[in-house]
Structure 1
Amino acid sequence: MTRRRLILMLTLVVVAAPALVQPGAAQAAPLIQATLYKNPQCSCCEAYAQYLEQNGFKVEIKPTNDLAEISSKAGVPEALEGCHTMFVTGYVVDGLVPVHIIRRLLVEKPAIAGITLPGMPPGAPGMPGKKIGPLTVYAVSKDGTPPRVFAAG
């Protein structure tokens, strides 16, 4: 084998090796598009958007002073509002909902308006502090059906 042929073979191995080690690596999953409405002064929402982007989402942030109205129109009861309201593939996601719960929503596609994690619980994605107990995420509807627990974790 000539030196030139050996260099060519080694080059092919180096170029092709990553694709062989991680099948499908060349075809990354498409980003999940989301629009997040937040209070202009809320910094935890910025951290939450970064968390989502690190987990396969493309987040468009829209500061607003009409957050309560946006949540209400989306079907989120006032008592269950989170610190921001996000829309993703036809669902409302209110508050600091962990990404694995959002992914479950998008896979199962239940007949609901969306989900919400009320308030700003410590340790939730985007929030500092230690998580105290499970995070309870509620399913909400636009037709007035009472909210129900969607996930806890």
Structure 2
Amino acid sequence: MLLGGGLLVAPPFLGSAPALAQEVEVWKTRACDCCEGWVKHMRLAGFSMKVHTVDTLDTVKTVKGVPDSLVSCHTAVVDGYVAEGHVPASDLRRLLRERPRVTGLAAPGMPQSAPGMDMPGQPYEVIAFGASGGSMVYAHH
């Protein structure tokens, strides 16, 4: 937009300026189509995704500190936090904003209505884990 003496001025943003894409590193197996659905969900939410396709996830889950009771089909890391399974992008944004003292978030099992599964109707919980008090419900969906 040109103003007065030929100055080029950008129009004001409606809302907030877009943030730079936060990189998420995810490990998944070849055979998992729902993991691809979650990766797509995360990209649509503005995250940059670095995907590692591996034969087994056991070592990744152990190294990242995912409790056996919270495992799911893929494991991701964003800014030092672990995201286990189909955790919604909105919950990860909240986690990154609030910065609680936890290892990460998990959507244990494979909740049918979680992002990437996309079959509405099954309520599920996202669990924060690794805090000194153990695990706790972080979000209800």
Q: TM-score, normalised by structure 2?
A: 0.85
Match of 2:99 among 87, 105, 109: 109
Cα distance change of structure 1 residues 106 and 24 upon mapping to structure 2, 3 Å threshold: closer
The unaligned stretches of length 5 or more in structure 2 are none
Structure 1 runs (4+) deviating above 4 angstroms are none
Deviates more, 1:65-74 or 1:44-53: 65-74
| 1:75–1:142 Cα contact (<8 Å) kept | no
CA distance in 2, matches of 1:117, 1:33: 20
Match of 2:128 among 109, 134, 139: 139
Which residue is equivalent to 2:55? Answer: 65
Mapping of residues 1-153 of structure 1, within 5 Å: 19-20=11-12, 22=14, 28-133=18-123, 135-141=124-130, 146-153=134-141
Bigger strand share? 2
CA distance in 1, matches of 2:15, 2:138: 34
For the residue of structure 2 that corresponds to 1:37, the secondary structure is strand
Q: For 1:60, give the aligned amino acid.
A: K
CA distance in 1, matches of 2:13, 2:69: 49
Deviations 1:31-80 (A, max 9, x none): 01110100111011111111111111000110112312211221211121
CA distance in 2, matches of 1:21, 1:92: 33
Structure with max Cα Rg:
1
Cα distance change of structure 1 residues 112 and 41 upon mapping to structure 2, 3 Å threshold: same
Cα distance change of structure 1 residues 111 and 43 upon mapping to structure 2, 3 Å threshold: same
Corresponding pairs, count: 137
C-alpha RMSD of matched pairs (Å): 2.3
Q: What's the CA shift for 1:119?
A: 1.1
The unaligned stretches of length 5 or more in structure 1 are 1-7
